[in-house]
Amino acid sequence: MKEHSIEHKFDKFIIAVSIVIPVVVAILFSVKLKDFGIKVEPLSFLPPIYATINGLTAIVLIVAVKAIKNGNRKLHERLMTFAIALSVLFLVMYVAYHMTSDATKFGGEGMIRFVYFFLLISHILLSIAVIPLVLVTYVRALAERFDRHKKIAKITYPIWLYVAVTGVIVYLMIAPYYVY
């Protein structure tokens, strides 16, 4: 039962992180450094970088799943840890960009506007939902509860992949409207 206690040892941490990250991001998203008299140039170079990080995350997730299906647990483990690191890096850059830059309005019209907002809203909502899923999935692997890990990974993987891919699509759709 040692593994079981390791798994539950992180329950409060996972709940806290799953609440704190979206709340802090929402707060920081509305904070503009210039409003506090801090003179900083807009970090307008970041969106293509963090969109690339999203794309790389998607590739890493696909390769990681392929690795575990081929029985390469060590590679899978390393790739999944790398995917989490990429997601954290994305988040830091995303917040930094929005703290230094004004929001970009999507300029598309007609059906493309509905497609864009559907993708954007589903991306945002699922990016919040995927936080506890990733953490629980990761902790179950660390606790060597691979039966339980595999069950939740079947839910986590497609959601995380969707978030990573739609992050790139949303960026490509809004990129023409960025003011550099």
Using DSSP's 3-state secondary structure scheme, residue 71 falls into: coil
Tokens for 11? 């329950």
At 49, which CATH number?
A: 1.20.120
pTM score: 0.90
In the predicted model, is pLDDT for residue 49 greater than 80? yes
Q: Which pLDDT score is estimated for 1?
A: 46
pLDDT tens sequence across 71-102: 999 999 999 999 999 999 999 999 999 999 88
What digits encode the pLDDT tens for the residues 150-161?
Answer: 999 999 999 999
Concatenate the DSSP letters of all residues of 32-51 into one string: -GGGGT------TTHHHHHH
Q: According to the model, what pLDDT value does residue 136 have?
A: 96
Is 58 buried (19+), middle (13-18) or exposed (0-12) by CB count in 10 A?
Answer: buried
- Percent of the chain residues past pLDDT 70, beyond the cut: 96
Residue 97 lies in domain: 2-177
What gap in Å lies between CA 34 and CA 64, rounded to an integer? 41
Report the number of distinct structural domains present in the chain. Answer: 1
